[in-house]
Structure 1
């Protein structure tokens, strides 16, 4: 087993890389507070990017219409001058105060394996976890869980296995019916055709009704017609396993399916990639020992501070009188939290309200120049 790496020390740690967390990192940058961000998802953007990347948002200041994906891209572009480290695919498992007053935050990684464990040590921690960690919806077959932890894994909910393992898989099944599932299946089918890996790529869904837009449906139809990809209808209800040299046990060979109309079928599968959507769960957050009220963290509306010194909460996870669960409100909360944290970290330093239009210091931090007025 690999040794646990020492904690990463930083002034601030943001748990959650959604819109609130990304804008908070920007505001901390303007306060010259170094931060890291950690998120369970494999890409930044949180709920907006994961659940409705292509749906329009109409209530952002100055942007009459903006998709969830575009919002994440714009926030990342805005954040680029500060370039804070992003730790993605990391599920935070514990938040503990240390004797010196700092917070030790531990993550088990997305696969909960020993090689994915990471820890951070920071005097300020910001929970920007929305309504909880967005985790993949699991297959209903508990028998599949051991195959997540094989080396290489035969069931992967987030990332793909190593390239070498992917190239040797003969029967790759992508399970799901939304855009993420179809896009992944098409990508794998194209790579298989280009590199002549002879892998059989299957898109598995319970029915022919897929939750995708017409352009993606057209691309899927072309792949099906070209026979680079097959669509199988059914729901996994069992497994077929065979002997394997791996000491961990027998390998996954096939899925047993219940098919529409009451039939049954066997689908060859030595690599299963479930893409069944995401669901928000408080998960370990509920076990962190924090004073949750109705699954929310009460905060001071002036600072977004919780009852625990050095611990702040912004976005949908917090609550205070007059709270509104809107993205624009989360941006306001992130600004107040950043100012409060800067005051906590530098108690003897006077805080000046400066504007990016006129402040040479802020413009230098942003790497821009110009003359403005206010």
Structure 2
């Protein structure tokens, strides 16, 4: 990949929370760059339980991890996210203007106006010439970043899912707050609320109405539904 790629939102991790965040952010015209250490999207779903039935995803009496990821990717596809696989984010810095710079372990860089940490329980490490099925889970570089933590996760404001650093958000298993429940459906809720805060800021803090997929012609057109 080039030395630096720009996007509206950098997302660290490519599990269910990250993939739904792509969709939610895309509804408001925000393009995402997703970075993950695995060789494909899916996180825990493709490593730990690709064929295991999941019974508590709303609307699906039963769905396995691989199928859930396939559907989330299909849902996000209209917004043309950029994916970088096989790389870990080793450092994040922000400049005076609030833009974020992510430094990757392959020496490349990525920039974004906001960052969403959807890094799950840690970093899955790929063995040489291995695939996602052979990955092992480690703490990863994020564990050393100077962020407020609780119960092994990053503390966030439960109204916005912003961390102790402005412009840096965390969702899914990566975050903690009072009443946190570690379920996939909770991660979807967290992605939606983080999106609302990011889109407000992207609009310069101006009041802008929430748009609904059932009523917004603009959104239907962006999804290829006219």
* TM-score for both structures, normalised by structure 2: 0.94
Which structure 2 residues correspond to residues 147-296 of structure 1 after superposition, within 5 A?
A: 155-158=128-131, 180=133, 277-296=134-153
Match of 1:45 in 2: 42
Higher RCO (Cα < 8 Å, 6 or more apart):
2
Matched position secondary structure for 1:331: helix
CA contact (8 A) 1:17 1:44 kept: yes
Which structure 2 residues correspond to residues 46-61 of structure 1 after superposition, within 5 A?
A: 46-61=43-58
**CA distance in 1: counterparts of 2:139 and 2:200, whole angstroms:** 30
CA contact (8 A) 1:27 1:338 kept: yes
Match of 1:193 in 2: none
Q: Give the alignment partner of residue 27 of structure 2, picking from 25, 30, 35.
A: 30
Match of 1:87 in 2: 84
CA offsets per residue over residues 123-149 of structure 1, 9 Å max, x none? 20000001111124x6xxxxxxxxxxx
Q: How has the CA–CA distance of structure 1 residues 6 and 100 changed in structure 2, closer, same or farther, with 3 Å as cutoff? A: farther
Listed as ranges, the gaps of 5+ residues in structure 1 are 109-115, 139-154, 160-179, 181-276, 370-374
Q: How has the CA–CA distance of structure 1 residues 5 and 289 changed in structure 2, closer, same or farther, with 3 Å as cutoff? A: farther
CA offsets per residue over residues 194-249 of structure 1, 9 Å max, x none? xxxxxxxxxxxxxxxxxxxxxxxxxxxxxxxxxxxxxxxxxxxxxxxxxxxxxxxx
Deviation at 1:31, TM superposition (A): 1.3
Matched position secondary structure for 1:86: strand
Deviation at 1:20, TM superposition (A): 0.2
Cα root mean square deviation, aligned: 1.7
Match of 1:368 in 2: 225
Query: Where do 4+ consecutive residues of structure 1 move more than 6 Å?
Result: none
Deviation at 1:340, TM superposition (A): 0.6
**CA distance in 2: counterparts of 1:294 and 1:282, whole angstroms:** 14
**CA distance in 1: counterparts of 2:83 and 2:173, whole angstroms:** 21
Matched position secondary structure for 2:102: strand
* TM-score for both structures, normalised by structure 1: 0.58
Count, aligned residues: 226
**CA distance in 2: counterparts of 1:335 and 1:281, whole angstroms:** 28
User: Does structure 1 residue 122 correspond to structure 2 residue 112?
Assistant: yes
CA contact (8 A) 2:20 2:72 kept: yes
User: Does structure 1 residue 352 correspond to structure 2 residue 225?
Assistant: no
**CA distance in 1: counterparts of 2:88 and 2:130, whole angstroms:** 14
**CA distance in 1: counterparts of 2:103 and 2:206, whole angstroms:** 31
- Tell me whether 311-320 or 278-287 shows the greater mean CA deviation: 278-287
**CA distance in 2: counterparts of 1:102 and 1:30, whole angstroms:** 22
